[in-house]
Amino acid sequence: MSGDATEHLVFITGGSSGIGLAMIETLPYANARVFNLSRRPAPGSEHVALDLSDPDSWPRVETCFREALAGFSGDRATLVHSAGVLTPIRFAGEGEPEAEVRNVLLNSASPQAIGHAWLRALAARDPEPRSTLLFIGSGASSAPYSGWSGYCAGKAATDHWTRTVGAELDHRGRPARVLCVAPGIVQTAMQAEIRETPERDFPEVARFIELHEGGALRTPKEVAGELWALLERDVPNGSVLDLRDG
């Protein structure tokens, strides 16, 4: 698709599965160019192969943003940062060191690093397009779950980065918006991983099994549709929201 025909640029991290894939599958925009930044490809998108838990990949993300924006004549750009990991589901200090480091880098560091790269790339384009950076948040950002220390801390960090950067963008008068939205409990591979975890490593596993058996989990496409609809609303910059609050 040529830059001249593209009205909307969309970037999805972790677009090969779960909510990220559903965001691609339910994309409501015509004439959009869609990039999937993840380890595996996904139909309906251009694949940028990388592992966001590896800091060496982060400059490549900014290069992708800049190159796409350089040939872009439309006026809207969206980044959905959906990539995240629970592994290792263990009490702090009891997991494999390599997995613990990967968890911290992906959940805590990559949202901020990619957020900075996004804002730099947008500012380099004249005129700067209207844009939204949407982080997929979690209720775990404010509720402690034993076994999820890395995930909970990463989501909490992203919440507060969102609040702070939203205020900064408004102060500068930029046409950029940053939001973080918790989707609730969704039927994804991550939820399957939770249900398979021994109680010793995740004491609340029985509750998640009950939620699944009781049909309480939402589908990724249902959640994705609500997220796209939310992005069309005049939501204040820096908002941290939960879809379950309506």
Residue spans per domain, the chain:
3-184+220-245
Residue 129's pLDDT band (cuts 50, 70, 90): very high
Average pLDDT of the chain, as a whole number: 96
* Residue range 31-42: mean pLDDT, rounded: 97
228: number of Cβ within 10 Å: 18
pLDDT exceeds cutoff 90 at 5: no
pLDDT score, position 186: 97
pLDDT exceeds cutoff 50 at 159: yes
What is the spatial distance between Cα 128 and Cα 77, in angstroms, rounded to a whole number? 10
Helix (H, G, I), strand (E, B) or coil at 137: coil
Residue 6's pLDDT band (cuts 50, 70, 90): confident
pLDDT score, position 246: 77
Residue 2's pLDDT band (cuts 50, 70, 90): very low
Secondary element (H or E) of residue 210: helix 205-213
Give the whole-number percent of the chain exceeding pLDDT 90. 96
pLDDT score, position 135: 98
Find, among 136, 77, 149, 72, the residue nearest to 110 by Cα: 136
Q: Per-residue pLDDT tens for 198-208?
A: 999 999 999 99
What is the spatial distance between Cα 194 and Cα 23, in angstroms, rounded to a whole number? 22
pLDDT score, position 1: 37
- Sign of the alpha-carbon dihedral angle for 202, 87, 241, 226: negative
Edge-first strand order for the sheet with 130-136 is: 46-49, 32-38, 8-13, 76-81, 130-136, 176-182, 240-242
pLDDT score, position 3: 39
> Distance from first CA to last CA of the chain, Å, rounded?
36
Burial degree of 15 (CB within 10 A; 0-12, 13-18, 19+): buried
106: number of Cβ within 10 Å: 23
Contact 177, 168 (CB under 8 A): no
Helix (H, G, I), strand (E, B) or coil at 186: strand
Is the CATH number of domain 3-184+220-245 1.10.510.10?
no
